[in-house]
């Protein structure tokens, strides 16, 4: 088998329905730059052919949204994998779900019922695999017959009762994409096709349980959860429980917990802890003479040892070392 990356323009004609600001080519890679919605930034998709009929794109989105209502050509499947950040997906029934780190979704673009998407944190990193099913099937039958992959059968299995297939983070799938990321450039041509085949075999044999589904939320739940998040950011030292927050924003506690984690990638408790420790770090930066015990008390810690442990877990060093390093760095900057 000739393992050179497919020399046709990768990502095309799939990308032909999108408004593209810039296109550039560097060896086997074609990079597409898409505008962010309302001038919010841009999205970069660096595409390469894997085998005829299968392209892969390294996606970096620095924007609020780059969603476009493009008409995808028929006969394609798309696999999207989230590496960092999260992506909010709005369905045509106004239900909302979030593709978070390690999650995967598959779509048949011409049947996609997604009506909008946005990037809650303003940055998303992921990988997209674009499959032209008829062309890819011929290559799979010719060179990877041992894998016994039938793309039409896979479509029937995953999309019989759904328009979009979501799969919550799984270690075996995360491992595949980890190896794709770490592959040396010199071995990518022969290695990447094998990893794509491995992924397709896993998806063809996936057994879904309730824990694998990605929860969907109403717009009301999402909006109230965002208000809760804003409240916490404005009040980093406030002591409050998830139950109290749920009551304040008129949500079921379970809904608030699930939606918060889906949007922001961590539980409410961990988020509050991070906020408090970052606030503590700022206190130590701005008040070099402040006692660490005072900073701990202002952040709701009566036990200085527990505060120091929490501070180190979030910031990476003890409060004393952090302040010492910050002060030394500041003195160095002023003397330059």
Give yes or no for a cis peptide into 206 (omega within 30° of 0): no
- Beta strands 42-51; 54-62: pairing state: antiparallel
Same domain for 124 and 188:
yes
Kindly state whether residues 233 and 146 are assigned to the same domain. no
For 3-59, the pLDDT digits (tens) are 344 445 677 666 767 888 888 988 888 999 999 887 779 999 999 999 999 999 999
Tokens of 1: 């088998």
Instruction: Provide the number of structural domains found in the chain.
Output: 3
Same domain, 328 and 183: no
Mean pLDDT calculated for residue range 113-133: 89
Question: What pLDDT does 262 receive?
Answer: 87
Residues 326 and 187 in one domain: no
Q: Which domain holds residue 172?
A: 14-212
pLDDT at 93: 81
Residue 25, in any domain of the structure: yes
Mean pLDDT of the chain: 87
Same domain membership, residue 72 and residue 189: yes
Q: Are residues 255 and 189 in the same domain?
A: no
Terminal Cα distance for the chain, rounded = 60
Mean predicted confidence (pLDDT) in 234-258:
94
Compute φ and ψ for 262, nearest 5 degrees: -65, -40
Strand partners, 189: none
Where is the domain boundary, 193, 212, 231? Answer: 212
Provide the CATH number for the domain around residue 142: 2.60.120.10
What DSSP character marks residue 217?
A: B
Q: Are residues 249 and 197 in the same domain?
A: no
9 belongs to a structural domain = no
Q: What is the DSSP string of 89-113?
A: EEETTS-EEEEETT-EEEE-GGG--
Given a contact cutoff of 8 angstroms between Cβ atoms, the answer to whether 49 and 5 are in contact is yes
The CA distance from 57 to 204, in Å, is 22
Q: Which of 22-36, 127-141, 211-225, 288-302 has the highest mean pLDDT?
A: 127-141
Asked if pLDDT for residue 85 goes beyond 80, the answer is yes
User: Cβ neighbours of residue 188 under 8 Å, at least 6 residues apart?
Assistant: 5
Assign 335 a pLDDT band (cuts: 50, 70, 90): very low
């Amino acid at each position: 088998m000739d393992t050179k990356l497919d020399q046709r323009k990768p990502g095309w004609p799939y990308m032909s329905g999108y408004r593209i600001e810039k296109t550039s080519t560097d060896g086997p890679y074609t990079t597409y730059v898409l505008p962010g919605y309302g001038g919010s930034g841009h999205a970069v998709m660096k595409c390469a052919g894997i085998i005829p009929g299968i392209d892969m794109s390294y996606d970096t989105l620095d924007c609020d949204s780059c969603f476009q209502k493009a008409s995808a050509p028929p006969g394609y499947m798309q696999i999207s994998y989230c590496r960092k950040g999260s992506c909010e997906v709005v369905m045509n029934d106004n239900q909302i779900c979030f593709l978070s780190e390690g999650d995967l979704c598959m779509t048949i673009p011409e049947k996609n019922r997604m009506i909008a998407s946005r990037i809650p944190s303003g940055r998303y990193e992921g990988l997209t695999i674009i499959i032209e099913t008829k062309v890819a099937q011929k290559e799979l039958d010719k060179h990877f017959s041992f894998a016994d992959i039938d793309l039409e059968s896979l479509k029937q299995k995953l999309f019989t009762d759904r328009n979009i297939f979501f799969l919550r983070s799984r270690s075996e799938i995360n491992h595949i994409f980890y190896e794709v990321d770490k592959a040396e450039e010199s071995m990518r041509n022969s290695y990447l096709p094998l990893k794509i085949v491995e992924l397709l075999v896993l998806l063809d044999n996936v057994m879904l349980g309730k824990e694998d589904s990605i929860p969907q939320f109403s717009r009301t739940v999402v909006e109230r959860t965002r208000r809760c998040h804003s409240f916490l950011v404005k009040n980093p030292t406030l002591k409050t429980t998830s139950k109290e927050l749920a009551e304040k924003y008129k949500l079921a506690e379970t809904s608030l917990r699930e939606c918060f984690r889906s949007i922001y990638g961590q539980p409410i408790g961990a988020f509050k802890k991070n906020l408090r420790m970052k606030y503590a770090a700022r206190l130590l930066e701005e008040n070099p003479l402040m006692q660490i015990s005072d900073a701990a008390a202002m952040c709701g810690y009566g036990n200085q040892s527990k505060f120091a442990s929490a501070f180190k877990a979030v910031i990476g060093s003890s409060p004393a070392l952090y302040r010492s390093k910050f002060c030394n760095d500041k003195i160095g900057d002023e003397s330059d």
